[in-house]
Structure 1
């Protein structure tokens, strides 16, 4: 069945590979999925980690989860790459919960990548960036407005928590608390 997708180049192809992996444990489909998805995940991970080895570890763990849990992908709930990015993000959170490498994580960049201004071969594709951005906008829209406003200001506009505190005339602790609650709600929505 993997021969139906010689070189995956769109979300439907990736969804088909996931289906092949889930139903047949198809190694050829997994190889094709790995070749298509692992570089994208590594590009994202490099934007979020200080240490290259941590980025590689996250990609390796994510690809293992894709092999083991491909059957959990449901095309009616979203496209395949969005699901894969969610799996990757959950792997990162799992590593953090276990206490691994907490000092090496870049703070505040745990929901989406920081894209460099330079043009290079490792740049995240516009399509991937749009998938992640659209998913985040959808998640932000579900938040209470006071939390959504803070998330937008900090993550989309690049304002510091201190700046948001001053602009909104709120105590810094309130800004931090609302941001933490918003991120928790967004993560829970992704886990569903």
Structure 2
């Protein structure tokens, strides 16, 4: 495909990951997100964010927006699969400090499932993704330039991070303020 097939209209869905709005990752909204909503996340070291496309497509690029309402950075890797049994890594940014928009290109291959696995967050123990598209679309977005779309993008922000305890939350949610730090499984961004 040349158009983004990771949309609700194209019957794509998020089958793994935590969000207050089930398909926030696929709704096309790249501007309305904050500390409490508009993103999908997973606990570092446990789980992932998995998008299922409506059918297998030959894809060679992906673009995603990492949560960037402060100056944190993330590390991650991305895998694709047609059956959720055999996975092929298409991006390894486990040693990179990544912010805001990420464009990943790779050799075209069939994929029905895309798995995004966060491995590090400089602010807390949760990986947060605001937007996902497949294949990558070339439309202008905030704080994005061709240089930033390479390996390590520069995001918005510049606020000083302050660690503070997480308020009590149910274990069914990974939502807590993005600046929070905790080792439990109950988090927010």
TM-score normalised to structure 2 length: 0.28
TM-score normalised to structure 1 length: 0.28
Computing the radius of gyration from Cα coordinates, the structure with the larger value is 1
Whichever structure has more helix as a proportion of its residues is: 1
Whichever structure has more strand as a proportion of its residues is: 2
